[in-house]
Amino acid sequence: MTRHFLIFGPPAAGKGTQAGALKDHLGVPHVSTGDMFRAHLSGDTELGKVVKDILASGQLVPDTITNQMVAERLAEADTAEGALLDGFPRNVIQAAWLDGYLAGHRTKLSGVVVLRVPDEELRSRLVGRAEKENRSDDADPAVVQRRIDTYKEQSEPCIAYYKAQGMVDVHEVDGVGSIEEVEARIRASVGG
Ligand code: AMP
């Protein structure tokens, strides 16, 4: 049985940071669709050209493009035993696609970690990140708000989708606190 996990939550919830420790704990590679798209942007690839304006606006890349990129990544040798997916799925269509993909590979999700962080805290973290990491999609308050809204409208329903389906443990974790505190909460929640 492979081990595919999700780390889920709004922009600036700390998914990328927590994924660093969680992937080691779970023993699977970290697969971040946001990082993959940004690599295409900085590499100026064909895909990078297609998604440039979409990322800058804070909207979602079309599902067919994103799913294809994930399928190719999950077909690589290092993810044969599983992966910690970060930033994917971002809507229920992608969630259903992932279920189908995993079922086609005779496996299913092993766990979903949801980081809960209030909107006000997200906004101030996003502003701080724009200054520190020079991420243009974090710098503009309108884009920041759009990304939070997109999460609420399109991504958050994935949590209800997984709960209703009842096939995977959904671990909801308070994402406010020091990196170490949140990491300890995640570990206590996922166990192992
Ligand atoms: P992130 O680093 O996860 O916040 O992703 C940065 C941006 O990449 C998002 O605002 C989207 O434009 C795009 N993106 C990342 N993951 C996905 C996904 N699963 N579906 C569609 N767009 C995505």
Domains for the chain: give ranges and CATH numbers. Answer: 3-26+81-190 (3.40.50.300)
Residues having CB within 6 Å of any atom of ligand 1: 11, 33-34, 37, 54-55, 58-61, 66, 87-90, 94, 137, 147
Indicate which atom in ligand 1 lies nearest the CA of residue 86: 3
Closest C-alpha residue for ligand 1 atom 5: 34
- Give CA–CA dist 126/144, Å, rounded: 7
| 141 Cα to the center of ligand 1, angstroms | 17
Catalytic residue among 38, 52, 135, 187: 135
Taking phi over 0 as left and psi of -120 to 50 as alpha, with beta for the rest, 117 belongs to beta
DSSP string, 101-121: HHHHTT--EEEEEEEE--HHH
Q: What is the pLDDT of residues 172-186, one digit of tens each?
A: 999 999 999 999 999
Query: What backbone torsions phi and psi does residue 58 show, to the nearest 5 degrees?
Result: 85, 10
3-state secondary structure of 139: helix
Residue type, 76: E
Closest C-alpha residue for ligand 1 atom 8: 34
**Given pLDDT bands bounded at 50, 70 and 90, which one contains residue 191?**
confident
Q: What is the pLDDT of residues 93-135, one digit of tens each?
A: 999 999 999 999 999 999 999 999 999 999 889 888 878 887 7
Query: What backbone torsions phi and psi does residue 59 show, to the nearest 5 degrees?
Result: -95, 180
3-state secondary structure of 82: strand
